[in-house]
Amino acid sequence: MQFLQIIKTLVLSIIIYGSCRTTLAAASSSDVTQSFNDCTEKWRLATWKIAPFPDTSAQYLSYQFSISKGKKIALAFESEFSKGIYSSFVTYDEKENFLSSLLDIQFKVLPPLRNPFVVPHFISKERSTFVNWAVSENLKEANRKGVFTLPYSKDSDSVVDIWFRIYNEIDLTPVQHPKITAYEFDGNRLVAANCPPLKEKEYSIATEPFIKIFPYIRQPAANVEAKVPMPSETGAIHFFFPDSSSLGGNPHVRYAAARLPSLAHRNPLIRMRQKSKGIIQNIGEVSILKFKIPTSPDPGHAPDSITGKEDVRYWSICLSDADTRTSDCLSLSKTRIMKNKKTGEPYAVLVVAPLGNNDQIKKIAEARGYNFLDRASTIVPILFYRQMLARSDFKGNIDKIKPLPIEVVRENKDAIPYYAEKYIGEYAPTGRHCHLEDFLRNSCEMETLFAGLEKNIPKL
């Protein structure tokens, strides 16, 4: 059995790096010791406690470990491609700062099959298998295809967190965990090694009862409340492009965000805390907004439906709380679409409100052709508009929005110059907050804005 494992290791190395004279490709049977180790069981499923503001269409796996100073290591990741719209490997340091990444179209595939994310697509009943490597950044192998980097230091240990993400809004069946095989470099020799020691994030069980009262215990670094302006006193909804370094750190995603009115006045302890921060509470519990939908691949046939000509690879609007949990998301496969009567362009109207024990408001919203998200138990609700791999020439690209300096929020300065709609037009969600009776009567006085849209288009 060990002999077969050795042969497999050698074959994979040769396939990945061809005949090039690199240390990985030049490994021989004498280089591979009996300390060969499979680290696959070290993966952990990342929940909201670990993945801030997760998308409900995504699955997140995390492998956090430490690297001893002066040690050069390599990790091989092997798995079949899963059906989905996107996947990637991304590495972070101990403070969750981005280090490196490998996007699905860069995955190294074992021949004779091809990478299913690369256009033109290679159609096969058999699923392709990828073998990617993570190696210390000071090695020449770091520049190879299918390789992302790990930190290296002669002076101190390093902590690394590798994330594997898969987005599939149609099928949330748990994904296959990529097999992890650990190696290290002994001079120019690649030798099998023990798995790097785990370095787990620590969350105290004792804090659990206080999460709903103080919603920043889990992810204090995120502190998005301080980066997005409070709801406008006029009740208007505007999105902003905040500092997104604390929003998961995925280099392939951009976020615009908007705060919704807090309903914290239902809890006296939270009301006192929110009042001290000047949070507005009397502009309504219903939020309604409209936006133009970007083009994206058909999620039901991804990755074969990806052409590279779409506005974005994926988009969603998610309702989250300042404690980094996500209640629900709206994405293409779930969206009730309205089309402009003149141009045929797709739009969506979204209503966010507390459902409670009565689903009347949801039924009315959907009867009007709107989409609905339940505010659930969110205390400091925040809407995140997510765009993944947007084309640079896409008119609605979030990167075109003027970034919002944190000083504007902290010092309560004029935020009008940073309104998203000033830069990306109707692709930016806009709307207003109102009370329930106003929504039931006339959709928060926004029905005139929807007059040019054909309503009640069936779901995709």
Closest alpha carbon to 157 in 215, 194, 196:
196
Q: Is the pLDDT of residue 29 over 60?
A: no
Residue of 7, 40, 18 lying closest to 110 (CA atoms): 18
345-370 mean pLDDT = 90
Cα torsion 25, 30, 33, 34: sign: positive
Q: 260: closest CA among 382, 158, 161, 363?
A: 382
Query: pTM higher than 0.75 for the full model?
Result: yes
Q: What is the pLDDT of residue 450?
A: 78
Residue in this structure with the two tokens 């970007």, named with its chain if needed: 294
Percent of the chain topping pLDDT 90: 49
Please give, one letter per residue, the 3-state secondary structure of the chain. CHHHHHHHHHHHHHHHHCCCCCCCCCCCCCCCCCCCEECHHHCEECCCCCCCCCCCCEEEEEEEEEECCCCCEEEEEEEECCCCCEEEEEEECCCCCEEEEEEHHHCCECCCCCCCCCCCCCCCCCCCEEEEEEEECCCHHHHCCCEEEECCCCCCCEEEEEEEEEECCCCCCCCCCCEEEEEEEECCEEEECCCCCECCCCCCHHHHHHCCCCCCCCCCCCCHHHCCCCCCCCCEECCECCCCCCCCCCCCEEEEEEECCCCHHHCHHHHHHHHHCCCCCCCCCEEEEEEECCCCCCHHHCCCCCCCCCCCCEEEEEEEECCCCEEEEEEHHHCCCEEECCCCCEEEEEEEECCCCCCHHHHHHHHCCCEEEECCCCCCEEEEEEEECCCCCCCCCHHHCCCCCHHHHHCCCCCHHHCCHHHHHHHCCEEEEECHHHHHHHHHHCHHHHCCEECCCCCC
How far is 35 from 150, CA to CA, in rounded Å? 21
Average pLDDT on 419-430 reads 97
Please report where in the chains the tokens 């697509």 appear, as a residue. 121
91, 87, 130: which is closest to 107 by C-alpha? 130
Give the pLDDT band of residue 76 (cuts 50, 70, 90): very high
Q: Which residue has the higher pLDDT, 211 or 54?
A: 54
pLDDT at 279: 52
Segment among 179-183, 294-298, 299-303 with least mean pLDDT: 299-303
Token output for 247: 């929003």
pLDDT of residue 447: 76
CA angle, corner 87, sides to 81 and 88, nearest 5? 115
Quote the distance between the C-alpha of residue 233 and its chain's center: 31
Structure tokens at 460: 């995709």
User: Is the predicted pLDDT of residue 268 greater than 90, yes or no?
Assistant: no
CA distances from 378 to 51, 241, 297, 333, 373 (A): 17, 22, 31, 24, 12
pLDDT tens, 210-264?
334 444 334 433 567 678 888 888 889 999 998 654 455 789 999 999 999 876 5
pLDDT tens profile 105-130: 999 998 888 999 999 877 777 889 99
pLDDT confidence of residue 248: 56
User: Which of these, 222, 77, 214, lies nearest to 135 by C-alpha position?
Assistant: 77
CB distance 379 to 296 below 8 Å: no
Q: What is the C-alpha to C-alpha distance for residues 131 and 178, in angstroms, rounded to an integer?
A: 9
How is the chain split into domains, by residue range?
2-192, 215-454
Most confident of 48-52, 151-155, 227-231, 449-453: 151-155
- Is beta strand 129-136 parallel, antiparallel or unpaired with respect to 147-150? parallel
